[in-house]
């Protein structure tokens, strides 16, 4: 059934077949969950179907309908977590679903929603990391939370909170690099994490240290012939920032990341501009 829905998702001419396949897929999963109300696996399967259809619907270009499926998935998982909090399967699924919600909010420019979602996601990821400290997945999830919250706080003008979260992100990415020193992409992410920490730094010495660290990381990658275009761009912008030219934070290959720009001279004016835009948007939405 899932295969039928997937095949139909990419072809607009098959929209009715796709809707029918989705309905039958959902009905089957719902019937199993309703037949065994105490079966956590059946409820998780129902949530997973909502998430899968949301993903396929999003890929087909129907963003609004996709978001409805994602919200249904999250509602099921929230209810499951309230009833079966200690079940790590539920917690893991909820972390994944919140990650999707954070990404959608981030891409939609909903900074407040994104921040609140990440704040909810972080303690769940931390609990899984505490239970499984060697599992990279939860280190990665915590890194994404801190990276995203750092960016949201920075855009909202809270540099102190941004610096704290970027520091946590750097620590977690460094841990992954230590575990997998052969992974060039992680080394690049570590360089980017240093660049993000520079963006939120208020001490010129710290700014310079983070920029120089980013440059050294990319230099090492290049000497080993493992530097890709992203790594080289990080180094170019770090070098530019060291000479006080405007620099833009490079993008990391993750759902939530810092992509804002700044120089040492325009930090205050840009912060004021961002706060003004947020305040304007809040007033516009207020009834």
Read off the pLDDT of residues 242-278 as tens digits, 9 standing for 90 and up.
986 444 445 443 433 443 333 333 334 333 433 343 3
Which band of pLDDT confidence, cut at 50, 70 and 90, is reported for residue 128? very high
Residue 21's pLDDT band (boundaries 50, 70, 90)? confident
* Tens digits of residue pLDDT in 186-198: 999 999 999 999 9
Q: Please check the confidence at residue 105 and state whether its pLDDT lies above 50.
A: yes
Question: Are the CB atoms for 58 and 66 separated by under 8 Å?
Answer: yes
Tell me which residue of 17, 79, 72 sits closest to 49, measured CA to CA. 72
C-alpha to C-alpha distances, 129 to 15, 123, 248, nearest whole angstrom: 41, 10, 32
Question: What token pair was written down for 236?
Answer: 């170019």
- How many residues make up the chain in this entry? 287
The CA–CA distances, whole Å, from 279 to 7, 276, 282 equal: 44, 5, 5
User: Roughly how many angstroms between the first and final C-alpha of the chain, as a whole number?
Assistant: 44
Three-class SS state of 265: coil
pLDDT of residue 60: 84
pLDDT higher than 80, residue 114? yes
Whole-number pLDDT of residue 85: 81
Question: Sorting pLDDT into bands at 50, 70 and 90, what band is 11?
Answer: low
Answering whether pTM is above 0.85, one says no
| Mean of pLDDT values over 139-153 | 97
Cα(50)–Cα(188) distance, integer angstroms: 35
Q: Could you give the CA distance from residue 188 to residue 53 in angstroms, rounded to a whole number?
A: 33
CA distances, 6 to each of 9, 55, 84, 121, 236 (Å): 5, 10, 31, 28, 42
């Amino acid at each position: 059934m899932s295969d039928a829905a997937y095949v139909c998702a990419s072809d607009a001419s098959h929209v009715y077949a796709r809707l029918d396949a989705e309905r039958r897929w959902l009905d089957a999963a719902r019937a199993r969950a309703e037949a065994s109300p105490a079966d956590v696996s059946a409820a998780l399967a129902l949530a997973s179907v909502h998430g899968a259809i949301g993903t396929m619907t999003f890929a087909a270009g129907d963003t609004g309908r996709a978001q409805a499926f994602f919200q249904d998935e999250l509602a099921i998982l929230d209810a499951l977590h309230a009833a079966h909090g200690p079940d790590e399967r539920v917690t893991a699924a909820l972390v994944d679903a919140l990650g999707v919600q954070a990404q959608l909010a981030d891409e939609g420019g909903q900074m407040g929603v994104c921040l609140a979602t990440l704040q909810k996601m972080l303690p769940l990821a931390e609990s899984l990391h505490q239970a499984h400290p060697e599992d990279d997945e939860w280190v990665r999830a915590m890194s994404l939370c801190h990276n995203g919250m750092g960016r949201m706080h920075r855009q909202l003008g809270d540099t102190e909170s941004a610096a704290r979260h970027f520091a946590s992100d750097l620590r977690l990415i460094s841990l992954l690099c230590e575990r997998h020193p052969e992974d060039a992409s992680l080394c690049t992410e570590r360089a980017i994490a240093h660049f993000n920490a520079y963006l939120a730094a208020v001490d010129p010495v710290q700014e310079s240290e983070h920029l120089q660290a980013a440059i050294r990381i990319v230099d090492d990658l290049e000497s080993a012939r493992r530097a890709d275009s992203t790594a080289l761009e990080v180094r170019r912008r770090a070098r530019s920032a060291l000479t006080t030219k405007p620099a833009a934070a490079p993008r990391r290959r993750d759902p939530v990341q810092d992509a804002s720009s700044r120089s040492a001279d325009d930090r205050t004016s840009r912060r004021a501009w961002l706060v003004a835009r947020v305040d304007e948007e809040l007033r516009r939405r207020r009834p």
